[in-house]
Amino acid sequence: MPLNIKDLKITSSDFAPLSRLADKHAGDKGNVLPKLTVSGVPEGAKELAVICHDPDAPLAHGFTHWTVYAIDPKATDLSDAQEKYRVGPNGAGHMQYYGPQPPAGHGDHHYYFWVYALDTNVEGTPTREEFLDKYADNIIEQNRIVGLYSN
């Protein structure tokens, strides 16, 4: 099944695409999840998943800041996603959002908030890598918003 970016969107009232995330969203300065909104979910979506990932982190696979599964495809406001849906492990193995905290002097890091519309339900709480390996063929549509942060 070819991946498609058609109508699915993820946006935030807390930051514009490619703009700086506020300090309150940083892991060591408040750790507040940015407000996220989803729209344009394609027909046939059984659930949504959202993953926040920093590919600029100085690790082999970057750093995953948040994984959340079992999001109702009718949901639009994800402000309470941490409490309402099934949260998987971040890169440190904790089941929670962990905001940006790049190494000091490392420059801007890109924080990708990906939304995935799936034609099946995700089982359990896979890591980002496990999710992509197991469910890549079940992604109907995907999109992302990217924020920047540096210390």
* CATH number of 99's domain: 3.90.280.10
CA distances from 66 to 22, 32, 63, 116 (A): 17, 12, 9, 14
pLDDT at 5 over 80: no
d(CA 98, CA 20): 16
Domain with 39 in it: 9-149
In the block, residue with structure tokens 């599964």:
69
Nearest to 65 by CA among 31, 35, 98, 34: 98
Mean pLDDT, the chain, whole residue set = 95
Q: What is the mean pLDDT of residues 28-36?
A: 96
Does 1 map to a domain? no
Total domain count, the chain: 1
Q: Is residue 3 part of a domain?
A: no
In-domain check, residue 24:
yes
The answer to whether position 111 is within a domain reads yes
Q: Rounded to two decimals, what is the model's pTM?
A: 0.95
Longest Cα–Cα distance of the chain, Å, equals 45
Residue 113 tokens read as 């908030």
Asked whether the beta carbons of 12 and 141 are under 8 A apart, the reply is: no
